[in-house]
């Protein structure tokens, strides 16, 4: 930015000096060359002096609420500098005698044009400074916004492990008095499944293939408790398995279906997992609501909704009919989404 400003001065000072020399004309007995050199001297002195003044007051009053005060002090200082500088410059160049400088009509004859030229230059500097501040403010706000999003996402991600463990321990608690051997096998499988969670809980996205493998392993655990009462059918074509989904999404939706619905021999629960229109992965279950819902951390569906909002305002569709409860989660194509578009920007 400094280099660009210096370049502007290199071009602007000779150009402005030329324009002022043309506008205000030559003094009696003064050649064009002399007039231009005098104009160049004063333009260079006033422009560089004003620039140093602008920079000084910007450093002293950097905050946006201080802008009116900064502009007022800068304006007063600039006027004083132009008047005093004009005196000193005229004496230094010998273009005015001491008697002429003591005459107010002579002294202030150039003040108006000096203030006009300085005001134009000052306005240009202030416009550039204003837009620079505005741009920096936007960048800071965006940075804070992205950091806030990352923080929110990390909080949601960190909910998943205790959420899964809490509900799995509830299942294990129910299994122990029923069948100790199944409880032991369940614990072994649980450790394998939980390892997957620990490996992937920090990731924003996983492939559908990975999530399906994990969900199937999770269903295997559930089948130990509901061997004939729970039926989960996965129907996802190979071309969709390379797309992406938020980790533990399918597991949470399956768990949500079991938590809210009766699962018994008389009322078996059927869960279908499939892709619809090539854009969403759907988890659908037959609706047979429990009168009393099992203990839960109540983070499942809300967690999924919030995580997808943070993944670029993705919306999940939830629909309840007389017979079914359906949740459609958007599939994410990382190639088209610039790999975790919002989270990693």
Sorted by where each begins, the domain ranges of the chain are 2-109, 148-330
Alpha-carbon span 110 to 127, nearest angstrom: 26
Q: Does domain 148-330 have CATH number 3.30.565?
A: yes
pLDDT at 268: 93
Alpha-carbon span 297 to 303, nearest angstrom: 11
User: Which of 178, 200, 175, 201 has its CA nearest to residue 188?
Assistant: 175
pLDDT at 295: 52
Question: In this structure, are strands 206-207 and 244-245 parallel, antiparallel, or unpaired?
Answer: antiparallel
DSSP letter at 65?
Answer: G
Tens of pLDDT along 292-320?
665 554 456 877 888 788 777 678 899 99
Residue 218, both tokens: 């999770």
- Residue 92 CB neighbours (<10 A): 10
Residue 120, both tokens: 């134009």
The set of residues, in sequence order, having a beta carbon less than 8 Å from that of 145 and lying 6+ positions away, is none
pLDDT at 311: 75
pLDDT at 315: 86
- Please list, residue by residue across 173-204, b when 16 or more beta carbons sit within 10 angstroms of its beta carbon and e when fewer do: eebeeeeeeebeebeebbeebeebbeebbeeb
Helix (H, G, I), strand (E, B) or coil at 336: coil
Please give the chain's pLDDT, 345 residues, in tens.
444 667 677 777 788 778 777 776 666 556 777 778 877 887 888 888 888 888 888 888 877 778 888 888 888 888 888 877 777 777 666 666 556 556 666 556 666 677 777 777 778 777 877 777 777 777 766 764 655 555 455 545 555 556 566 767 777 777 777 777 777 877 877 777 777 777 776 677 889 999 998 888 888 878 877 778 999 999 998 889 999 998 888 988 998 898 889 999 899 999 999 999 888 999 999 999 887 665 554 456 877 888 788 777 678 899 999 999 999 999 988 754 444 444 444
Alpha-carbon span 224 to 169, nearest angstrom: 14
Half-sphere exposure of 173 (CA within 13 A, CB side): 8
């Amino acid at each position: 930015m400094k280099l660009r400003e210096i370049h502007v001065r290199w071009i602007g000072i000779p150009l402005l000096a030329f324009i002022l020399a043309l506008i205000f004309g030559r003094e009696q007995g003064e050649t064009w060359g002399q007039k231009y050199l005098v104009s160049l001297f004063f333009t260079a002195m006033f422009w560089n002096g004003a620039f140093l003044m602008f920079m000084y007051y910007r450093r002293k009053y950097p905050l946006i609420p201080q802008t009116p005060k900064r502009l007022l002090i800068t304006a007063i200082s600039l006027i004083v500098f132009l008047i005093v500088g004009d005196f000193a410059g005229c004496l230094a160049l010998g273009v005015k005698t001491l008697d002429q400088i003591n005459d107010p009509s002579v002294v202030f004859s150039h003040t108006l044009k000096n203030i006009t030229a300085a005001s134009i230059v000052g306005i240009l500097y202030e416009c550039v400074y204003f837009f620079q501040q505005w741009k920096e403010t936007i960048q800071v706000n965006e940075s804070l916004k992205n950091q806030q999003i990352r923080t929110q996402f990390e909080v949601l991600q960190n909910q998943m492990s205790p959420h899964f463990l809490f509900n799995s321990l509830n299942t294990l608690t129910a299994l122990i008095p029923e069948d100790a051997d199944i409880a032991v096998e369940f614990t072994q499988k649980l450790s394998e499944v939980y390892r997957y969670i620990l490996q992937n809980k920090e990731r924003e996205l996983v492939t559908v293939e990975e999530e399906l493998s994990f969900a199937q392993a999770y269903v295997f655990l559930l089948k130990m408790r509901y061997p004939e009462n729970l039926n989960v059918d996965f129907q996802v074509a190979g071309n969709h398995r390379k797309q992406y989904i938020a980790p533990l999404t399918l597991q949470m939706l399956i768990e949500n279906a079991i938590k809210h619905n009766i699962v018994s021999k008389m009322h078996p629960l059927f869960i279908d997992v499939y892709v619809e229109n090539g854009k969403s992965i759907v988890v659908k279950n037959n609706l047979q609501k429990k009168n009393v819902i099992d203990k839960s951390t109540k983070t499942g569906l809300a967690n999924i909704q919030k995580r997808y909002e943070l993944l670029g305002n993705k919306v999940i569709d939830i629909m309840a009919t007389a017979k079914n409860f359906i949740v459609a989660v958007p599939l994410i194509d990382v190639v088209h989404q610039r790999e975790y578009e919002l989270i990693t920007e």
